[in-house]
């Protein structure tokens, strides 16, 4: 029972943070950045492991975070100086970094079988091995992110909706962009070891996308995404604990996706059925 | 008996060419991450059809995977047409759902089978020479070579037969639709090609490196080419280079072949990004320097024209414009020479 509680608390924390940051990503049309960063973190984790020989998740996370930040910054920079579009660059960063991670993985493999299991865990995560210490660390990271978000809230909202206006008003749009992207990387990497690559990218997008169908106000979208992220993570963890051998990650993704489908169909502001029933005066 | 290494090299080259073809169209269209989405979603098709046929070698698995890929595209396009979500969010919602369903099915009903997710994601090219195709008791060679050659044939037939229509649909979809060319249908057939390619290739290199080979050579070619057929040829060339160089590096350093291929394609991209003739970073820097020089000369010339009757010192010009003395001196030297 206690294990279930730990897992539910841990995944809810991750879900809440991912949902909140995801609200910004949705508005900035950077939803797939989460997927790219999740994959790009792998070589960072492997390098950190080769460098420090430590299997402490927190240490490995720092490596993953650095790799993720490099990837995200490369995307932003290359977008600015060439005609290449964001989707192609995200695809390149995702696959090339991951490929390099595979190379490092085989190097680690040659040093002994026990070590390569570390990297395998990051792919699907290992929610069942969460400890209270991990929860405290994630809460700490969440609190730090919230403090930065609260301090720079208005600036972040402004650059998400109207970059030109922010630039004209004199805000350092480039710097704020980098900070917000950095926070996205931290939010994703923080959850990677617990829930894995695929789940993090889904948790970033799904709660925000679902909430978007119910509201036009960004504040409601943000808080709704936070709550929905926490709820779908906790619910998914609980459901996966009901059976034998059911992996947590995929169930949480399915729960979150169901929320999105329901919202798409029935959402108050933009749902499909609402659109069908409205009389159109075209 | 052909050496194992040569077979692995042949498979690597074939994978590279097969992926580069549809990848070019994806990059130009702006849906490069659809390749990532499809290569993850095919797991659901494979899992479903495996549970139906209970055999790993059945060709129905290929069919199931292709169907799953098309289903992903259909679902994504449906969400986009409702205009409730934009393209990137729509893609990012559909494929995790399909992939998770696939993983769940495998964990629940196919635990002890070799169909494990690691194989799908990572592949293993070194096994390809040993997995042979046996028809009527005759050893016809590596299974992977046959499937990849078949898929390459399909891709080539589609692209060559519908090339003009594809170009029209790609660059002017509205006009194509109005004149009756069915750009939507072409798009779905292209995505079908991507699905089949992903399935054929990930046995060898895994789903993520399939994405690398589809997107990175095409993006490299985007920086070098102006016309689509040149871009196609360049991306095939870049993909082949990445495959051969990657295979060679993996051979030397004894690391994962798939990972090495992905890494070399990225290194090639970086090199071209810096050195490309008109669109590369160095070219940009040189261009900006040229522009800066022209602007300097123009501004100083205008200033001097303004103050024509007075004898202006360099120092006065520098103070008025707020520039360093060196820059003004250089400009006046260049202007007096002309």
Nearest to B168 by CA among B157, B154, B179, B156: B179
Triad B299, B300, B303: Cα angle to 5°? 90
A45, A59 contact by CB (below 8 A): no
What is the SS3 assignment for A123? helix
Output B65 or A220, whichever has higher pLDDT. Answer: A220
Reported ipTM: the value is 0.89
Among chain A residues, the shortest Cα distance to B207 is held by A95
Once rounded to an integer, what is the mean pLDDT over residues B238-248?
95
Token couple for A144:
């730090």
In the stretch 226-245 of chain A, residues with CB closer than 8 A to chain B read: 245
User: A35-63, pLDDT tens digit by residue?
Assistant: 999 899 989 988 998 888 877 778 888 99
User: B257-301, pLDDT tens digit by residue?
Assistant: 889 999 999 999 999 999 999 889 999 999 999 999 999 999 988
Across A37-41, A256-260, B51-55, B114-118, least confident range: B114-118
Among chain A residues, the shortest Cα distance to B100 is held by A250
- Chain A residue numbers with beta carbons less than 8 Å from the beta carbon of B88 are 29-32, 87
- Chain B residue numbers with beta carbons less than 8 Å from the beta carbon of A110 are 254
B197 Cβ contact partners less than 8 Å away, ≥ 6 residues apart = B18, B19, B21, B22, B151, B155, B210, B214
- Chain A residue numbers with beta carbons less than 8 Å from the beta carbon of B83 are 270
Task: Decide if A91 and B36 are in contact by the 8 Å CB cutoff.
Answer: yes
- Chain A residue numbers with beta carbons less than 8 Å from the beta carbon of B30 are 85, 87-88
B218 Cβ contact partners less than 8 Å away, ≥ 6 residues apart = A88, B20, B23, B24, B26, B27, B28, B32, B231, B235
Beta bridge partners of B139: B134
Instruction: Express as a percent the part of chain B with pLDDT over 70.
Output: 89
Residue B138, H or E segment: strand B138-142
Which residue carries 């808080």 as its tokens?
A: A223
Among chain B residues, the shortest Cα distance to A99 is held by B259
A50 at interface of B, judged by CB pairs closer than 8 A: no
**Distance linking the first and last C-alpha atoms of chain A:** 58
- Chain B residue numbers with beta carbons less than 8 Å from the beta carbon of A99 are 208-209, 212, 258-263, 265-266
Task: Decide if A257 and B93 are in contact by the 8 Å CB cutoff.
Answer: yes
Which residue carries 């695929």 as its tokens?
A: A198
Once rounded to an integer, what is the mean pLDDT over residues B219-248?
95
A127 DSSP assignment: G
Among A99, A107, A276, the strongest candidate for a mutation testing the B interface, having the largest count of B CBs within 10 A, is: A99
Say which of A30, A91, A199 has its CB closest to residue B215: A91
- Chain B residue numbers with beta carbons less than 8 Å from the beta carbon of A88 are 27, 30, 32, 215, 218-219, 222
The per-residue pLDDT for B137 is 63
Once rounded to an integer, what is the mean pLDDT over residues B3-16?
88
- Chain A residue numbers with beta carbons less than 8 Å from the beta carbon of B32 are 85, 87-88, 90-91
User: Nearest CA to CA, how far is B336 from chain A (Å)?
Assistant: 35
Say which of A39, A260, A270 has its CB closest to residue B93: A260
Task: Decide if A260 and B33 are in contact by the 8 Å CB cutoff.
Answer: no
Task: Decide if B101 and A250 are in contact by the 8 Å CB cutoff.
Answer: yes
User: B125-168, pLDDT tens digit by residue?
Assistant: 666 666 666 666 666 667 788 888 989 999 999 999 999 999 99
B190, B27 contact by CB (below 8 A): no
Task: Decide if B108 and A245 are in contact by the 8 Å CB cutoff.
Answer: yes
A249 at interface of B, judged by CB pairs closer than 8 A: yes
The per-residue pLDDT for A52 is 84
């Amino acid at each position: 029972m206690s294990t279930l509680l730990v897992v539910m608390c841990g995944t809810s924390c991750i879900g809440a943070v991912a949902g909140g940051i995801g609200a910004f990503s949705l508005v900035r049309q950077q939803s797939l950045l989460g997927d790219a960063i999740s994959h790009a973190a792998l070589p960072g984790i492997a390098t950190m492991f080769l460098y420090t020989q430590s299997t402490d998740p927190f240490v490995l996370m720092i490596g993953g975070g650095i790799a993720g930040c490099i990837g995200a910054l490369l995307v932003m920079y290359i977008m600015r100086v060439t005609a290449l579009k964001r989707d192609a660059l995200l695809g390149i960063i995702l696959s090339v970094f991951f490929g390099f991670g595979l190379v490092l993985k085989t190097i680690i493999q040659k040093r002994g079988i026990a070590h390569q299991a570390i990297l395998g865990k990051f792919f699907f995560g290992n929610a069942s091995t969460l400890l209270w210490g991990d929860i405290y660390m994630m809460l700490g990271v969440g609190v730090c992110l919230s403090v930065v978000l609260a301090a720079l809230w208005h600036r972040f909202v402004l650059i998400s909706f109207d970059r030109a206006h922010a630039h004209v008003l004199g805000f350092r749009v480039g710097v704020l962009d980098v900070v917000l992207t950095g926070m996205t990387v931290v939010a994703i990497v923080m959850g990677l070891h617990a829930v894995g690559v695929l789940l993090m990218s889904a948790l970033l997008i799904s709660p925000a996308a679902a909430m978007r169908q119910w509201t036009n106000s960004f504040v409601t979208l943000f808080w709704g995404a936070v709550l929905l992220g926490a709820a779908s993570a906790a619910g998914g963890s609980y459901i996966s604990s009901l059976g034998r051998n059911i992996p947590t990650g995929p169930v949480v993704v399915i729960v979150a996706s169901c929320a999105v489908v329901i919202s798409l169909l029935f959402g108050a502001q933009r749902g499909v059925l609402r659109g069908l029933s409205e009389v159109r005066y075209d | 008996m052909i050496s194992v290494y040569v077979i692995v090299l042949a498979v690597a080259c074939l994978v590279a060419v097969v992926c580069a073809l549809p990848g070019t169209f994806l990059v130009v269209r702006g849906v490069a991450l659809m390749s990532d989405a499809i290569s993850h979603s095919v797991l659901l098709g494979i899992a479903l059809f495996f549970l139906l046929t209970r055999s790993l070698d059945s060709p129905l698995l290929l069919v199931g995977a292709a169907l799953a890929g098309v289903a992903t595209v259909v679902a994504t396009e449906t969400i986009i047409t409702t205009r409730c979500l934009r393209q990137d969010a729509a893609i990012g919602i559909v494929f995790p759902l399909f992939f998770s369903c696939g993983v769940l099915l495998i964990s629940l009903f196919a635990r002890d089978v070799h169909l494990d997710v690691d194989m799908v994601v990572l592949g293993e090219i070194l096994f390809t020479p040993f997995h042979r195709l046996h028809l009527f008791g005759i050893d016809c060679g590596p299974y992977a070579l046959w499937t990849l050659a078949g898929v390459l044939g399909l891709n080539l037939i589609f692209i060559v037969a519908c090339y003009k229509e594809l170009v029209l649909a790609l660059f002017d979809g509205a006009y194509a639709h109005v004149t009756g060319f069915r750009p939507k249908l072409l798009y779905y057939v292209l995505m079908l090609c991507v699905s089949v390619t992903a399935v054929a290739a990930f046995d060898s290199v895994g789903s993520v490196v399939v994405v690398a080979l589809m997107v990175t050579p095409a993006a490299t070619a985007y920086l070098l080419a102006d016309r689509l057929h040149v871009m196609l040829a360049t991306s095939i060339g870049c993909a082949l280079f990445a495959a051969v160089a990657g295979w060679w590096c993996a051979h030397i350093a004894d690391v994962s072949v798939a990972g090495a291929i992905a890494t070399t394609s990225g290194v090639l991209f970086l090199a071209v990004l810096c050195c490309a003739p008109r669109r590369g970073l160095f070219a940009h820097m040189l261009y900006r320097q040229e522009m800066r020089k022209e602007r300097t000369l123009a501004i100083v010339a205008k200033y001097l024209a303004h103050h024509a009757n007075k004898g202006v010192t360099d120092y006065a010009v520098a103070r008025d414009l707020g520039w360093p003395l060196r820059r003004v001196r250089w400009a006046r030297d260049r202007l007096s020479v002309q």
